[in-house]
Amino acid sequence: MQTERFEALIDAILAIIITIIVMEIPLPETTSLSSLIALYPEFISYALSFIICFNFWNYHHNLFGIVNKLNSTITWTSAVGIMIVGLLPHVTTMISTNFYSFTAQFMFALIFFLTNINFYVADMLLIKVDKGNIALRLALKNRKETTIITSIIQIIGVVIGYFVYPPAILICCMLSIVVMLGQEHIKSYFKY
């Protein structure tokens, strides 16, 4: 499979996921500012879910810009990642209606964690399949460390969320994205 076709498939699926998430935001009861403010859990949930989808798309788009070879194992591994991200509309609705629920927040963290692990597995498979791709190896040289750091941040969020404040999970999930985006070794090889 050519990487362009694979990227187009990911683009289409993520566009559908984002559309479903947007359609889950209820209309305010009135057009007043207070009615809009009352929907803050929905808007926060949407924004965070959008960031996950965008991060998934951005990572794949940039990564596959330097990938030369794909195989069915990589395709299926990425399909599992898309399946995990496909749960976002359900979890987004769960969070928006139960914003302070540990279970709802935990489900969001679980999607983050599983996506993070899926990225790592896909990246290692890409390195194995595309052995001669120096740019790919350099871009992913510290991937294991990044995965460990972001996973620890997410686990800390779950612990804080369980014992203290459930929305802390969302904050830690966002922090893990910031850590990932801040990795200079990754950014320097991707074409922004």
Domain that holds residue 37: 3-187
Q: Flag whether 192 is in a domain.
A: no
Domain for residue 57, yes or no? yes
pLDDT single digits (tens) 14-29: 889 989 988 988 899 8
Tens-place pLDDT, residues 62-111: 888 888 888 899 989 989 999 999 999 999 999 989 999 999 999 999 99
Q: Is the pLDDT of residue 192 over 50?
A: no
Let me know if residue 75 belongs to a domain: yes
Q: Please, where are the H alpha helices in the chain?
A: 3-23, 33-37, 40-64, 72-85, 88-97, 102-129, 134-139, 143-163, 168-181, 184-187
pLDDT tens digits for 99-154?
999 999 999 999 989 999 999 999 999 999 999 999 999 888 888 888 899 899 99
Number of domains in the chain: 1
- Is 20 within the bounds of a domain? yes
